[in-house]
């Protein structure tokens, strides 16, 4: 499998996981601290205020990606596996369309 194909596959997985985590972050069975971190990550990613301004080439966008990636990893670890599986199953039909 070529590197481009691997990247495309991983990008699809990240998209699916992001939708599932967005649903899980609103689920009352998920710990409050995890939901708070999800809100902070989304707010930071969408906020025009950054630690490193986006107009600085590469590095400006890298801090957003790093912050979002770290929080997604934290959420995957802190969301109960049954809840995460439920939300992944809910997103799977959308992915097929």
User: Which DSSP letter does residue 48 get?
Assistant: S
d(CA 15, CA 49): 24
pLDDT at 82: 92
Share of the chain above pLDDT 90, in %: 11
Contact present, 29 and 52 (Cβ < 8 Å): no
Q: Could you report how far apart the first and last alpha carbons of the chain are, in Å?
A: 24
Domain range spanning residue 53? 3-96
Q: Report the domain count for the chain.
A: 1
Q: Which of 3-12, 42-51, 80-89 has the lowest mean pLDDT?
A: 42-51
Predicted model pTM: 0.65
**Residues 71-83, mean pLDDT to the nearest whole number:** 85
């Amino acid at each position: 499998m070529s590197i481009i194909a691997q990247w495309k596959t991983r990008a699809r997985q990240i998209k699916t996981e992001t939708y599932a985590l967005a649903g899980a972050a609103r689920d009352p069975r998920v710990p409050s601290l995890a939901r708070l971190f999800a809100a902070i990550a989304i707010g930071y990613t969408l906020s025009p205020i950054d630690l490193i301004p986006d107009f600085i080439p590469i590095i400006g966008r890298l801090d957003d990606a790093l912050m979002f990636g770290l929080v997604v990893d934290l959420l995957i670890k802190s969301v109960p596996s049954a809840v995460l599986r439920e939300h992944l199953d809910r997103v799977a039909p959308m992915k097929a369309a």
